[in-house]
């Protein structure tokens, strides 16, 4: 009896701990339950690579994985599909445009030096570039704030935003050999102008061999002067030496150091004459491009994730609304609760007192399952819930095996307590065999399956392990505990009187 009380205390403590876990750590829901975004990415061949093979696909996936982690989107999944595609799921993300921009960019970082004799041409291009950037940022910001309330009465008038004078934008486009596209907005024209100016600026710089491959770290910090952000870089030993040599070669000459990302100049810096002797040593640098906090964060993520070995194209963006996810949750919960209720009625009707004990044990089983999902954590999807519900059926089956053996013993005239002990002993091998084969299937599904199939295998495997515990421990402990009360120690609570020896017709 003392042993049963010890087991009961343990089960009670586990139930309390499971309830506390569920209260502290909410269950994590997948894309199909929570809503979010799904992006289909296609890896494109480039250069000498005419066909994307498995190794190249895995190399791209590795870089994308690092970038996704850098974005800080929790519970995201990235799976390869076919020979050259990947599917990225971002639960809870309703605006996938930023992720698509960060993931689809190659992020080839280059440090270049200004070509000799280009000082005048570069000066004019940089002036036009900075004016165009300032005007474009101002117009984009005003477009985003168009629905915001006007300035409160009495507030100081804000400074006038930067802008081009009348016809100045058209003149700038003509100077770059551009014609104004029909029907284009001013913002579209500014973006086109910036693209061409950037390309002209990059043409005035020459490669040096120092690239993003020489980086070991990337970070961001707010500039000490001004409200902008800058991206900090840390080179490996070889990269640090290259950077020192590079800066030494242009120190005090007036030539600029260009930082180019994917063929676009993002910063041009001067190197003072004080670095003429040894260049900028220490293996670190920073990119100042008047970045916003979000732009600096995106660039940091791209650089830390590394360059994509092959270009990636976003071929499909699908958004799953949270309302659809909520409907899935409601339907799944209704199905699960209905199934549990029907099983409970069946068990009590067929097995009487042991059936009632089984219902309590199955409730503990469900509680333990959900607590483990919250603790690991397991991201619940519809297939995952299917695995959970299927494991409930297996847990019921274990109890059925035990109770049928108990009934057989009672029909043969064995005493009640001995029948219960024999029922657990006789059913043990069958329960173990069934659960072991089920676990083998789960391992195979997890090892060979992908994405949602793995989620199904995880929830089913956890359910099988817990089913063993609840069937052999919880059910047995509760049943033996009840048998300590003489009023409940009746064979008719286990089997109809007509089936007991000596009472059959």
pLDDT digits (tens, 9 = 90+) for 239-289: 888 888 888 888 888 888 888 887 778 888 888 888 888 888 888 887 776
Q: State the virtual CA torsion across 23, 25, 27, 30 in degrees, nearest 10.
A: 160
Distance of CA 309 to the CA centre of its chain: 22
Please give the pLDDT value at position 289: 66
Residues 6+ apart with CB under 8 A from 221: 229, 230, 232, 286
* CA-based max dimension of the chain: 115
pLDDT band at 356 (very low <50, low <70, confident <90, very high): very high
In the predicted model, what is the mean pLDDT of residues 381-400? Answer: 84
**pLDDT band for position 149 (50/70/90)?**
low
pLDDT at 267: 81
Q: How many CB atoms lie within 10 A of CB 189?
A: 20
Q: Is 148's pLDDT higher than 60?
A: no
Q: Which of 489, 269, 341, 500 is nearest to 407 (CA)?
A: 500
At 347, is the secondary structure helix, strand, or coil? helix
Alpha helices in 379-415 (DSSP H): 382-411
pLDDT of residue 440: 92
Residue 162 banded pLDDT, cuts 50, 70, 90: low
pLDDT digits (tens, 9 = 90+) for 401-425: 999 999 999 888 888 889 988 988 9
Q: pLDDT of 89-129, one tens digit each?
A: 887 776 777 677 777 776 777 888 999 888 888 888 888 88
Rg (CA), the chain: 34
Ranking 121-125, 189-193, 452-456 by mean pLDDT, the lowest is: 452-456
Torsion angles phi and psi, residue 387, rounded to 5: -65, -40
Is the bond into 377 cis (omega within 30 degrees of 0)?
A: yes
On the question of pLDDT at 498 being above 70, the answer is yes
Give the chain's mean pLDDT. 81
The pairing of beta strand 229-235 with beta strand 215-222: antiparallel
Tokens of 296: 């600096």
Q: pLDDT > 70: what percent of the chain?
A: 89
Query: Which residues does residue 29 pair with via DSSP β-bridges, in sequence order?
Result: 380
Strands 77-81 and 257-261: unpaired
**Residue-level pLDDT at 450:** 67
Q: How far is CA 246 from the centre of its chain?
A: 40
Task: Give the pair of three-digit tokens for residue 171.
Answer: 């003149």
The residue whose two tokens read 């017709």 is 505
- Entry pTM: 0.56
Q: Predicted confidence band at 504 (pLDDT cuts at 50, 70, 90)?
A: very low
For residue 159, the model assigns a pLDDT of 57
* 22-70 confidence digits (pLDDT tens): 888 888 777 777 777 888 888 888 767 778 888 888 888 888 887 777 7
Please state, for a pLDDT cut of 90, what percent of the chain lies above it: 6
Q: What is the mean pLDDT of residues 58-85?
A: 77
- CB–CB of 387/457 below 8 Å? yes
> Residue 505: its pLDDT value, please?
38
Q: Answer for the pair 196, 189: CB distance below 8 angstroms, yes or no.
A: no
221: DSSP letter: E
Could you tell me if 202 and 258 are in contact, meaning their C-beta atoms sit under 8 angstroms apart?
Answer: yes
* Residue 395, both tokens: 């847990």
């Amino acid at each position: 009896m003392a042993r049963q009380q010890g087991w009961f205390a343990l089960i009670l403590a586990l139930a309390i701990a499971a309830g506390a876990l569920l209260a502290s750590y909410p269950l994590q829901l997948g894309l199909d339950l929570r809503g979010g975004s799904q992006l289909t990415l296609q890896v494109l061949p480039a250069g000498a690579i005419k066909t994307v093979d498995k190794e190249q696909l895995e190399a791209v996936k590795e870089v994308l994985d690092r970038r996704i982690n850098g974005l800080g989107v929790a519970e995201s999944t990235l799976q390869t599909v076919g020979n050259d595609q990947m599917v990225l799921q971002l639960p809870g993300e309703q605006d996938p445009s930023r992720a698509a921009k960060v993931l689809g960019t190659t992020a080839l970082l280059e440090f270049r030096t200004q070509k000799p004799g280009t000082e005048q041409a570069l000066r004019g291009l940089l002036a036009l570039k900075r004016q165009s950037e300032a005007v474009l940022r101002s117009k984009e910001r005003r477009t985003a704030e168009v629905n915001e309330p006007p300035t409160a009465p009495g507030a100081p008038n804000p400074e006038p935003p930067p802008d081009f004078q009348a016809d100045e934008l058209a003149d700038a486009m003509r100077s770059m050999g551009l014609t104004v596209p029909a029907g284009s907005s001013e913002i579209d024209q500014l973006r086109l102008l910036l693209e061409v100016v950037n390309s002209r600026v990059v043409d005035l710089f020459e490669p040096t061999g120092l690239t993003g491959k020489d980086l070991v770290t990337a970070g961001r910090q707010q500039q000490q002067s001004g409200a902008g952000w800058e991206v900090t870089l840390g080179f490996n030993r070889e990269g640090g030496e290259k950077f020192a040599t590079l800066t030494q070669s242009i120190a005090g000459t007036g030539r600029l150091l260009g930082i180019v990302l994917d063929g676009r100049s993002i910063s041009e810096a001067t190197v003072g004459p004080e670095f003429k002797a040894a260049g900028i040593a220490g293996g670190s640098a920073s990119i100042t491009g008047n970045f916003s906090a979000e732009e600096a964060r995106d660039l940091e993520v791209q650089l830390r994730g590394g360059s994509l070995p092959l270009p990636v194209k976003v071929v499909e963006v699908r958004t799953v609304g949270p309302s659809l996810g909520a409907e899935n949750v409601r339907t799944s919960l209704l199905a699960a609760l209905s199934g549990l209720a029907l099983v409970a009625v069946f068990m009590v009707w067929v097995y009487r007192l042991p059936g009632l004990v089984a219902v309590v044990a199955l409730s503990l089983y469900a509680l333990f399952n959900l607590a483990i999902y919250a603790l690991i954590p397991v991201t619940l999807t519809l297939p995952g819930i299917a695995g959970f519900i299927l494991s409930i059926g297996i847990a019921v089956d274990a109890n059925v095996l035990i109770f049928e053996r108990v009934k057989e013993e009672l029909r043969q005239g064995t005493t009640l307590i001995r029948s219960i002990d024999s029922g657990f002993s006789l059913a043990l091998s069958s329960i173990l065999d069934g659960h072991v084969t089920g676990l083998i299937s789960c391992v195979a599904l997890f090892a060979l399956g992908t994405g949602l199939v793995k989620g199904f295998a995880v929830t089913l495997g956890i359910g099988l392990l817990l089913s063993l515990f609840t069937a052999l421990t919880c059910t047995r402990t509760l049943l033996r505990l009840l048998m300590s009360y003489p009023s409940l120690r009746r064979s008719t609570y286990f089997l109809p009187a007509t089936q007991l020896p000596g009472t059959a017709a």
